[in-house]
Amino acid sequence: MHGSDTQREFDGSTVVVTGAGSGMGRVEARLLAARGATVWVTDVDGDAATAVADEIGHAGADARVARLDVTSAQSWNDLADAIGGDPVVGLVNNAGVSHRYGILDTTLEDWERVLAVNLSSVFLGMKTVAPLMTGGGSIVNISSIAGMLGYFAAGYGATKWGVRGLSKVGALEFAERGVRVNSVHPGLVDTPLLNSGSDVFVDESLRAVPAGRVASSEEVAEVVAFLLSPRSGYVSGTEIVVDGGLTSGGIYHRITSDLASARS
């Protein structure tokens, strides 16, 4: 497939992106709009969503904006009302929060907050938007490598595994509507969320990334665009990991690198 074939692949399509005011969501919204989609740029931070919608508009592409709190059924219903009768072709459930604490250090309040933002959001998003996909469509749920392996963060790990499982439920349930559902599992991506914690965490994690670097948001957005497009027409109910090789055995990358530096 040549670049030119994908350039306007979303012409005439309406797509919803959650958490689009920052990080990966912002880049996904911009990329999809640049390829012809009318993108609903949504975020709980309404000003951030408006700023991204403005950026898209200034670039000559098409964006709508809505303040959407993904944890609120009412907020999702308001979005559906705002979309009106337009058939929706794509949904990216991207909004999420980080929380790097184990079971013993996680309060029930934090557990419930992370569950609401990272997992109930995906349930509500699919429940609200799948019925609007009257001509078929594709849903991409953003999980994480934390949904591929054992992870040290209780709420984050549990929700990202939950997103992976719920995506498969959606893939089975919505197939008869012509709607595909898949999950994307980024590793370390250069966004405000990644950089909200300690540098030591990122630096130490990078030692286990065979690619030797973090991903750009654009590299994840390309995978999202592929999954939303007809190019992936027979891909449903599966995971795409975008992690520079981390979960393929990054521990051995770290060990062999350490041994090589000890020898030199």
Ligand X SMILES: NC(=O)c1ccc[n+]([C@@H]2O[C@H](COP(=O)([O-])OP(=O)(O)OC[C@H]3O[C@@H](n4cnc5c(N)ncnc54)[C@H](O)[C@@H]3O)[C@@H](O)[C@H]2O)c1
**Using the rule CB under 6 A, is 250 a contact of ligand X?**
no
Nearer to ligand X, 138 or 143 (CB): 143
- Active-site position among 101, 151, 156, 234: 156
Nearest to 132 by CA among 13, 24, 6, 11: 13
Which residues in 141-200 contact ligand X (CB under 6 A)?
142, 144, 186, 188-189, 191-194
Residue 41 within binding range of ligand X, rule CB under 6 A: no
> Quick check: 129 binds ligand X (CB under 6 A)?
no
Is residue 231 within 8 Å of 264, Cβ to Cβ?
Answer: no
Specify whether 234 is catalytic: no
Sign of the torsion formed by the C-alpha atoms of 197, 114, 166 and 233? negative
16 binds ligand X (CB under 6 A): no
Binding to ligand X by residue 235, rule CB under 6 A?
no
Q: For 237, which DSSP code?
A: S
176: DSSP letter: G
**3-class SS at 132?**
helix
Q: How far is the C-alpha of 246 from the C-alpha of 205, rounded, in Å?
A: 9
Give the range of 89-97, 103-111, 175-183, 225-233 binding ligand X by CB under 6 A: 89-97
Q: Does 78 bind ligand X (CB under 6 A)?
A: no
Is residue 227 close enough to count as binding ligand X by CB under 6 A? no
Cβ atoms of 245 and 209 within 8 Å: the answer is yes
- Bridge partners (DSSP) of residue 36 are none
User: 51 in helix, strand or coil?
Assistant: helix
| Cβ at position 75, least distance to ligand X in Å | 8
Q: Which residues are catalytic?
A: 156
Residues that bind ligand X (CB under 6 A): 18-19, 21-25, 43-45, 48, 68-71, 94-97, 117, 142, 144, 186, 188-189, 191-194
